Amino acid sequence: MHEVQTFGILRVPCDSNFKLLSCKTVEINNPDAEGRLILADGVAYAEKTLGSNVIFDVATLTGAQGPTTGKYHGAILSNSAVWEAKVLKAGRITGDCVFPIVYCPELHLSEFDSEIADMKNSVADYHNATSSCAGLFIASHLSSKFSGSWVHLDMAATVASKERATGYGVSLLVGLFGSESNSSYLKFISTSYDSNLT
């Protein structure tokens, strides 16, 4: 008997295979790791349809983020040292602190090896940089032609304190992208951040 997970109205048994927007097939070996499937389609859509050259995904992705960077620092993963530095600086300025985690696809993507699909949706070894691996799963759905910058923020442990939401991430995103908004209010707020980010 297969374990079944519900995604809205869709019921997904373990060992199912899905073809994602990236055209990669994914074997479902962990039905609790469903969010990364949606994020993988999201980054593929941002690249293919929107033509984005900077893709920033944010999620409460893994339980491993808390033990990795704690409840006050989100885990940041990027293919760009420039964007990693920008996000670190924005975190210090806005108070939404972040800390970089290991970006090493050549060592970690093998965690997703599958005999029946291009990859599995969860790692083989839960003691091998799990938070980094989860982010790399998302990045692996960008095409090999993608020459832009990709940034992943895992904020699973930072978004709540006791029974209350912290609002973590809002200031960080305004600090990074508010000046690009059509909102004069967001532009005004981000002005003080932007002058410190350059």
CA distances, 132 to each of 17, 111, 118, 136, 160 (Å): 23, 11, 19, 6, 21
Maximum Cα interatomic distance, the chain, rounded to a whole number of Å: 58
> What are the residues facing 56 on neighbouring strands?
151
- In which band, very low, low, confident or very high, does the pLDDT at 3 lie, cut at 50, 70 and 90? very low
Report yes or no: 108 and 136 within 8 Å, Cβ to Cβ. Answer: yes
Mean pLDDT of 13-34: 88
pTM for this predicted structure: 0.87
Q: Which domains does the chain have, with CATH numbers?
A: 4-197 (3.40.630.10)
Residue 54: pLDDT above 80?
A: yes
Residue 10: pLDDT above 60?
A: no
Query: How does the average pLDDT of the chain come out, rounded?
Result: 89
Confidence (pLDDT) at 12: 64
DSSP string for 5-71? EEETTEEEETT-EEE-TTS-EEE-S-TT--HHHHHHHHHHHHHHTT--SEEEEEE---TTHHHHH-S
Cα three-residue angle 152-47-95, rounded to 5 degrees? 25
**Who contacts 53 (Cβ-Cβ below 8 Å, separation ≥6)?**
147, 148, 149
Confidence (pLDDT) at 11: 60
Q: Which of helix, strand or coil describes residue 85?
A: helix
Residue 43: pLDDT above 70?
A: yes
* Rg over CA atoms, the chain: 17
Taking the C-alpha atoms of residue 150 and residue 156, their distance in angstroms, rounded to an integer, is 19
**Who contacts 50 (Cβ-Cβ below 8 Å, separation ≥6)?**
none
> What are the residues facing 161 on neighbouring strands?
164
> What are the residues facing 21 on neighbouring strands?
none
Confidence (pLDDT) at 1: 34
Cβ burial, residue 95 (10 Å; 0-12/13-18/19+): exposed
- In which band, very low, low, confident or very high, does the pLDDT at 186 lie, cut at 50, 70 and 90? confident
Mean pLDDT of 158-168: 94
- In which band, very low, low, confident or very high, does the pLDDT at 17 lie, cut at 50, 70 and 90? confident
Taking the C-alpha atoms of residue 53 and residue 83, their distance in angstroms, rounded to an integer, is 12
For the stretch 65-109, pLDDT in tens is 999 999 999 999 999 999 999 999 999 989 999 999 999 999 999
